[in-house]
Amino acid sequence: MKRRVSLPARPVLRRPPLGSPLQILLLACSFTLAGYAGVRLLAGDWFGVTLWFVGAALLHDLVLVPLYAGADRLLARGLGAAGRREWTVHVRVPAALSCLLLLLWFPLISGQMADRYRSATGLADTGFLARWLLITAVLFGGSAVLLALRLRRATKDRPPVDH
């Protein structure tokens, strides 16, 4: 009885998962645009821009992330103690969106850029704080309505209890 010796299998050459040609083209365009923006941004005051980016990253990582995590932990612990931990998302989402809007529009909300904004746009620089507060109220109100609808649907689906 002869033994057959098998040769090692030829490696199968697969195409790397690069995506479709349209995806590759869009990615190349986005890198080109980002590179152009970076060159234009750094052309004026490269040291100031670099310092601002590094400072913003450090401020975010060393100050804001521990604040986010601490507030989220307190929220989850408080709602968990009340037996409503699943409600956490109904506070997290509007709070995160509201904080993001505050971060984006803080110079105008605080009035620090009022003169520059007025001279650049010709529009009034008032009302940003009121609008941000209104948007925050709408976000939390919408979240409360969604929670109420969820609770109502959950009580409808629950069978009645016999006494």
- The string of pLDDT tens digits covering residues 30-60 is 999 999 988 888 887 888 888 888 998 999 8
Query: pLDDT class for 163, splitting at 50, 70, 90?
Result: low
pTM of the shown model: 0.63
Distances (CA, A) of 134 to 19, 124, 126, 143: 43, 18, 14, 14
Q: Is the pLDDT of residue 86 over 80?
A: yes
Query: pLDDT class for 80, splitting at 50, 70, 90?
Result: confident
Least confident of 1-10, 65-74, 108-117: 1-10
Dist CA 1 CA 129 (whole Å) = 90
- The string of pLDDT tens digits covering residues 101-152 is 998 888 888 888 878 888 888 888 788 899 999 999 999 999 999 999 998 8
Quickly tell me which residue has 């984006």 as its tokens.
Answer: 104
Under 8 Å between Cβ of 93 and 143: yes
Least confident of 2-16, 54-68, 128-142: 2-16
pLDDT at 117: 80
What does DSSP assign to residue 83? T
Quickly tell me which residue has 């869009």 as its tokens.
Answer: 26
